[in-house]
Structure 1
Amino acid sequence: MGIKARLTRIVAVIGMLAGLTAGTFGIVELTQPQPATPPPVTAVFADDAPAPVVPAAPAPAVRVAVPTRLEVPAIDVDEKLTGRGLKADGSLDTPDFGKAGWYRPGPRPGEPGGAVVVAHVHGPDGPDVFWDLAKLQPGDVIRIHRADGVATFVVDEVDDVPKEHLPYDKIWPDTDEPLLRLITCGGKRTASGYPDNTVVYAHLASTEALS
């Protein structure tokens, strides 16, 4: 087992909805239960299916600096990154339209485990930050800028999966390897939003320290 300790567990539902005509928008909901009795999860799926429980990585012994900017040259993305935590109701404080956010309770990009970055695919003004995310190809480069340097990730896989079948163990695997996941909505947009999620899987290729 790569990570020996599991300090917390989180219930995760990732539903990037952007069907504004139906009153919905990009949302990532991560609810952290109490140890004894987990609270109910506010489902974003029509069938109110319960969310599976997935492990959250413990804080590493040595932390990397907070990420500040996301660069994805292949799809012309260059956006400031803000850390998004949990709101009082346990759901993720999602980034605004036109912005990108990283999931602060999880690993920082460059630390062991799956670091997650999310953004909308579509907003009130049309295509949003991750509009072209599904066009990424294995081998494409993703750069995460931090105060201590630049972490370069390489895309391994791009997947489109129904929201009710998200591979949580693959997004947050038990590993010592620094990984990155970019997530937005996917599939063909309907009046009620997007039925799928686009998930980009990437691994750390190099880290360039600031001189």
Structure 2
Amino acid sequence: MGRGQAGRGGLVALTACVGIWLVGSGSGQPVGPPLPSPAEALTGQARYPGSIDPLPGSPPTRIRIPSIRVDAPLTGLGLGRDGSIEVPPPDRRDLAGWYRDGVTPGALGTAVVVGHVDHAAGPAVFYHLGALHRGAAIEVPRADGRTAVFTVHAVEVYAAEHFPDARVYGPSPRAELRVITCGGGFSPRTGYQGNVVVFAHLTGTYQREPVSPTAPDRV
């Protein structure tokens, strides 16, 4: 994602951070989704153990995070009229989205995947994202038949007013992935106060037969 888009991209998940399930539950002090431990944060010198060379570009079709039982289709997301990235439909708790005008997961640079933390009926696709730890695997099957395997090297939570655009969306000399959802505390009046961001880098790949994406290109 380019610098001009990244400035607006810091609001990616905030457009869908109202926490309608927690508000509707009537709980005075909702527990909310898990938040990452400070031990999972980026260090001053981030390390990328096991990094491999980037893959050619190819649209992703799914995202799988076995340790938190995520196995979800991906839909392509563009930019809305206000210049911020779109989000998946709020009624699709099982659906995540990738920024289709940026890097495809596994290619050189920083690819971005976003998804809801909850919806009206309960937890959504990335409700447990904040429970991830360094070393966790993220698999992204692609239309070319390859599955890009990423290893998590950090999980952080940011307040909305301090979202670090360059740190999250900036260019990379490796194939990297960011997975983003809402988090950072909850207010019944304004919803979630920030975002949980997972940082991961490409460490493997395996080949399957090419498939056509089953999710729609747009929302």
TM over 0.5: yes
The residue aligned with 1:96 is 89
Per the alignment, do residues 7 and 165 of structure 1 end up closer, same or farther by CA in structure 2, a change over 3 Å counting? closer
CA distance in 2, matches of 1:139, 1:21: 31
Give the match for residue 66 of structure 2.
73
Kindly provide the amino acid, as one letter, of the partner of residue 84 in structure 1.
Answer: L
Q: Which runs of 5+ in 2 are unaligned?
A: 24-54, 210-219
The corresponding residue for 1:9 is 4
Distance 1:186 1:94 in 2: 15
Report the alpha carbon displacement of residue 100 of structure 1 after superposing the two structures with TM: 0.3
Normalising by the residue count of structure 2, what TM-score does the alignment of the two structures yield? 0.70
- Aligned-residue Cα RMSD (Å) equals 2.3
Which residue of structure 1 aligns with residue 153 of structure 2?
156
Q: Which amino acid aligns with 1:81?
A: L
| C-alpha displacement of 1:161 | 1.0
- Counterpart contact for 1:159–1:198, Cα < 8 Å: yes
Larger fraction in helix: 2
> Partners in 2 of 1:110 and 1:135 — Cα distance?
23
Compare relative contact order (CA 8 Å, sep 6+) and give the higher one, 1 or 2: 2
1:127 and 2:123 equivalent?
Answer: yes
Please report the TM-score for the alignment, with normalisation by the length of structure 1.
Answer: 0.73
Alignment of 1:196 onto 2:194: yes
Tell me the secondary structure at the aligned position of residue 91 of structure 1: coil
TM superposition shift of 1:105: 1.4
User: Which amino acid in the other structure matches residue 140 of structure 1?
Assistant: A
Q: Deviations 1:95-154 (Å, cap 9, x if unpaired)?
A: 023110001111110112211100010111111111100000000000001022100000
**For this pair of structures, how many residues does the alignment match?**
168
CA displacement at 1:168 relative to structure 2: 1.3
Q: Which amino acid aligns with 2:203?
A: A
Inter-partner Cα distance in structure 2 for 1:7 and 1:195: 25
Q: Percent identity?
A: 39
Shift of 1:169: 1.4
Instruction: Provide structure 1 residue ranges, at least 5 long, that are not aligned to the other structure.
Output: 1-5, 24-61
